[in-house]
């Protein structure tokens, strides 16, 4: 119920329009603008900078203070004490699992990791040098063709089965994309391994010898999955919610999220950061790129910097930076790109252009360096992001369908031609 009201007066309108104002448990109040329609008015908010598109209980971001909560738990504490599958359970259910619930959840996921054998044929239709995100969009969408037994989106159990299948199969499909690109045989999942170890063996193992993941690398991989798990109503999650609002098949909805994530302004930024660092090539070139980033006539932007919501450090970037140092130390790697990244961060954080606009490193700034150190090729970085974010997408999709909902259908400010007749001779 609204506990406050907003009153709107509009030139040319006699009536004062009263709009309900709602308060959440955290964050800004929201003005319910639905009554505007009866006054013949729309709101106008390209890019949804000031629009709450839905009510949600899953994740909360305080951009001004660099706070990210999943089910109320700060991301820093989850990164230190939890693991990816436990956070998957938290995002899906709103509570951390008991030890028994966690064991049951993990075992359920382990028993859904294989994909239908026919799915291997989809890969043969792609060129070996196809971008793995193009393959992911196609193959994940194709899951719609295989699972007809649990697609009643209004059935909570069916929604749960879809979530389990997606959490379990995304690492398998992601690793298949990589293996296909290098001409190596697909590796089957091994249920005796934990989630990150299993992914690494499917990526880097081969049928000729036993693969044992470095535990430090496996932990870093799990933390990367965890840090990317969910992030409120970002572009790809909003895409999944909108696709879901039409009643579309959940696998097709996740495929739409993968497509939206691919853009360099969103999940494609981790790949773009590495490309940018390699283009900078040496610390002596940093100033030139900073100038380009500040030039309004140059569409170059500092990849890995800035965020629509965070006007402070992205808390995930801080954890990612610490993980980066751990992984490079463990692997005894001194990556020159890391030196460039740290120098770039230092310069940008002192530069008035970035300070004034509150442009800080985001989650993508350091993740690429860790993934490169682990041996994952640059074009697989966004695939890793998609794998990680699947739990966020399916949790929001499920939340949307768990209460009465409407198809999403925004309106517009029309500035095209007025009505006119077709010219007849
Ligand atoms: C992710 O939404 C999420 O939660 C996303 C995400 C998630 O987990 O789902 O956190 C993941 O997508 C992180 C963001 C990854 N993208 C990048 O690192 C790409 C580089 N960043 C920018 O493209 C940009 O910062 C965005 C897209 C992230 C945010 O853009 P906004 O909010 O639309 O901000 P804006 O474009 O209006 O920029 C405001 C000003 C502009 O300058 P002025 O017009 O005021 O002169 O800041 C400038 C921009 O030109 N600016 C940058 C910049 N980012 C913004 N200038 C140089 N380099 C940048 N990176």
Q: Which atom of ligand 1 is nearest to the CA of 308?
A: 32
**pLDDT tens per residue, range 80-109:** 999 999 999 999 999 999 999 999 999 999
* 348 CA from centroid of ligand 1 (Å): 14
Cα(50) to centroid of ligand 1, in Å?
15
pLDDT on residue 1: 58
Pick the closest to residue 350 from 341, 339, 360 (CA basis). Answer: 360
Q: What is the model's pLDDT at position 168?
A: 98
Taking all residues of the chain, what is their mean pLDDT, rounded to a whole number? 95
3-13 in b/e burial notation, b at 16+ Cβ within 10 A? eeeeebeeeee
Which of 307, 314, 396, 401 is catalytic? The answer is 307
User: Which pLDDT tens digit goes with each residue over 281-327?
Assistant: 999 999 999 999 999 999 999 999 999 999 988 999 999 999 999 99
DSSP 317-368: HHHHHHHHHHHHHHTT---HHHHHHHHHHHHHHHSHHHHHTT--B-THHHHH
295 is catalytic: no
Backbone angles phi, psi at 408, to 5 degrees: -75, 125
Please determine, for residue 333, whether its predicted confidence score (pLDDT) is greater than 90. Answer: no
Q: Find the 186 Cα to ligand 1 centroid distance in Å.
A: 37
pTM: 0.95
Query: How many angstroms is it from 303 CA to the middle of ligand 1?
Result: 9
Which residue lies with its CA nearest to atom 36 of ligand 1? Answer: 308
Q: Which of 307, 312, 314, 315 to mutate to test the pocket of ligand 1 (most atoms within 8 A of CB)?
A: 307
In this structure, the residue with its CA closest to atom 33 of ligand 1 is 308
What is the model's pLDDT at position 151? 83
Sheet holding 30-31, edge to edge: 4-8, 17-22, 30-31
Q: What is the arithmetic mean of pLDDT over 377-406? A: 97
What is the 243 CA–ligand 1 centroid distance (Å)? 24
Give 2's pLDDT tier (boundaries 50, 70, 90).
low
Residue 247 CB partners (closer than 8 Å, separation 6+): 153, 407
122 φ, ψ (degrees, to nearest 5):
-60, -35
The residue whose CA is least distant from atom 18 of ligand 1 is 304
Distance 237 CA to ligand 1 centre (A): 17
Q: What is the pLDDT of residues 201-213, one digit of tens each?
A: 999 999 999 999 9
Computed on alpha carbons and rounded to an integer, the radius of gyration of the chain in Å comes to: 23
Could you tell me what percentage of the chain is helix, strand and coil, using 3-state DSSP and rounding each to the nearest 5? 55, 5, 40
Nearest CA to ligand 1 atom 31: 308
So what's the pLDDT on residue 260? 98
- Nearest-atom index, ligand 1, CA of 237: 9
Catalytic residue among 62, 266, 335, 351: 266
Q: What is the mean pLDDT of residues 392-417?
A: 97
Ligand 1 atom 23: the closest Cα is on which residue?
265
pLDDT of residue 386 exceeding 90, the answer is yes
Mean pLDDT for the stretch of residues 252-274: 95
- Helices 132-142 & 156-182 angle (0-180, nearest 10): 140
For residues 401-415, give the mean pLDDT.
96
Among this protein's residues, is 148 annotated catalytic?
A: no
pLDDT at 269: 92
- Residues in contact with ligand 1 (CB, 6 Å cut-off): 231, 234, 265-267, 269, 293, 296, 301-309, 357, 359, 362-364
CA 345 to chain centre: 23
Q: What is the mean pLDDT of residues 150-164?
A: 92
Q: Please list the alpha-helical segments (H only) found in 205-285.
A: 215-227, 235-244, 250-261, 269-280
Q: How many angstroms separate the most distant Cα atoms in the chain?
A: 80
- At residue 149, does pLDDT exceed 80? no
Identify whether 364 is a catalytic site residue.
Answer: yes
Q: Which atom of ligand 1 is nearest to the CA of 307?
A: 28
Q: Of 83, 230, 314, 364, which one is the catalytic site residue?
A: 364
What are 21-68's pLDDT values in tens digits? 999 999 999 999 999 989 999 999 999 999 999 999 999 999 999 999
φ/ψ (deg, to 5) at 62:
-110, 95
Return the residue whose CA atom lies nearest to atom 47 of ligand 1. Answer: 357
CB 269, CB 303: distance < 8 Å: yes
> pLDDT at position 404, please?
93
For ligand 1, mutation pick of 237, 302, 306 (most atoms within 8 Å of CB): 306
For residue 296, how far is its CA from the centre of ligand 1 (angstroms)? 14
* Burial readout 19-56 (b: 16 or more C-beta within 10 A, e: otherwise): bbeeeeeeeeebbebeebeeeeeeeeeeeeeeebeeeb
pLDDT of residue 143: 94
């Amino acid at each position: 119920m609204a506990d406050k009201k907003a009153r709107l007066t509009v030139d040319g309108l006699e009536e004062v329009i009263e709009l309900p104002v709602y308060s959440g448990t955290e964050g800004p109040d929201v003005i319910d603008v639905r009554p505007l329609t009866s006054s013949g008015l729309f709101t106008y908010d390209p890019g949804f900078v000031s629009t709450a598109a839905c009510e949600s209980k899953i994740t909360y971001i305080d951009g001004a203070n660099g706070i990210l909560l999943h089910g109320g738990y700060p991301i820093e504490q989850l990164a230190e004490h939890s693991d990816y599958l436990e956070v998957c359970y938290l995002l899906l259910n709103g509570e951390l699992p008991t030890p028994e619930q966690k064991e049951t959840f993990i075992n359920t996921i382990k028993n859904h990791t294989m994909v239908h054998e026919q799915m291997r044929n989809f890969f043969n239709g792609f060129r070996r040098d196809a971008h793995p995100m193009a393959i992911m969009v196609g193959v994940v969408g194709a899951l719609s063709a295989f699972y007809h037994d649990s697609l009643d989106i209004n059935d909570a159990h069916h929604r749960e089965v879809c979530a389990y299948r997606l959490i379990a199969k995304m690492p398998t499909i992601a690793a298949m994309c990589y293996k296909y690109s290098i001409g190596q045989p697909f590796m089957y999942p091994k249920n005796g391994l934990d989630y990150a170890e299993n992914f690494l063996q499917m990526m880097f193992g081969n049928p000729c010898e036993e693969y044992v993941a470095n535990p430090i690398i496996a932990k870093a991989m799990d933390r990367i999955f965890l840090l990317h798990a969910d992030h409120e109503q970002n572009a790809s999650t909003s895409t999944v919610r909108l696709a879901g609002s039409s009643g579309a098949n959940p696998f097709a909805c996740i495929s739409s999220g993968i497509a939206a994530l691919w853009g360099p302004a969103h999940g494609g930024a981790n790949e773009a950061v590495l490309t940018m660092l390699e283009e900078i090539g040496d610390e002596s070139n940093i100033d030139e790129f900073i100038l380009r980033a500040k030039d309004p006539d140059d569409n170059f932007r500092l990849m890995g910097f800035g965020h629509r919501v965070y006007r402070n450090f992205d808390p995930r970037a801080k954890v990612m930076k610490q993980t980066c140092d751990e992984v490079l130390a463990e692997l005894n790697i001194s990556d020159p790109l890391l030196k460039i990244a740290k120098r770039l961060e230092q310069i940008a954080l002192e530069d008035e252009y970035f300070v004034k606009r509150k442009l800080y490193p985001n989650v993508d700034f350091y993740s690429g360096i860790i993934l490169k150190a682990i041996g994952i090729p640059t074009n697989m970085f966004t695939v890793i992001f998609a794998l990680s974010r699947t739990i966020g997408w399916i949790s929001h999709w499920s939340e949307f369908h768990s209460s009465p909902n409407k198809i999403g259908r925004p309106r517009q400010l029309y500035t095209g031609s007025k009505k006119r007749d077709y010219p007849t001779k």
